[in-house]
Amino acid sequence: MARIPGPPPLDGLKRRIEQSRLSRNAQQKGHFVRETYQLERNAARLKAREWFETWPKAAYWTEVESWRPLEGDRIEFTMRRLPSAD
């Protein structure tokens, strides 16, 4: 009687996925620092200005990476900068 094999074990695949995630996280440490906010429109402008004053664009590549309007005149936005100026 021939035996029908079951699905292959997934331990090796799970281990490779975990190693890939750890490696990716280690590589991202040297990349941009990001913070996401959800603020009222005027507070959002002040927060963005604060970032540009604290981390000047020329040295830290500071920018508003993305933004979108929310209900109630609120803005969700992500600020991005380099972790340090070289």
Could you read off the pLDDT of 54-63 as tens digits, one per residue? 999 999 999 9
Contact 69, 75 (CB under 8 A): yes
Beta bridge partners of 14: none
Classified as helix, coil or strand, 69 is strand
**Domain 32-86 = CATH 3.30.420:** no
pTM: 0.64
Domain segments of the chain as ranges:
32-86
Instruction: Report the percentage of the chain scoring pLDDT > 70.
Output: 84
Tokens of 44: 């959002």
Which residues, in sequence order, are CB contacts of 30 under 8 Å at separation 6+?
Answer: 83
Q: What share of the chain is helix, strand, coil (3-state, %, to 5)?
A: 40, 30, 30
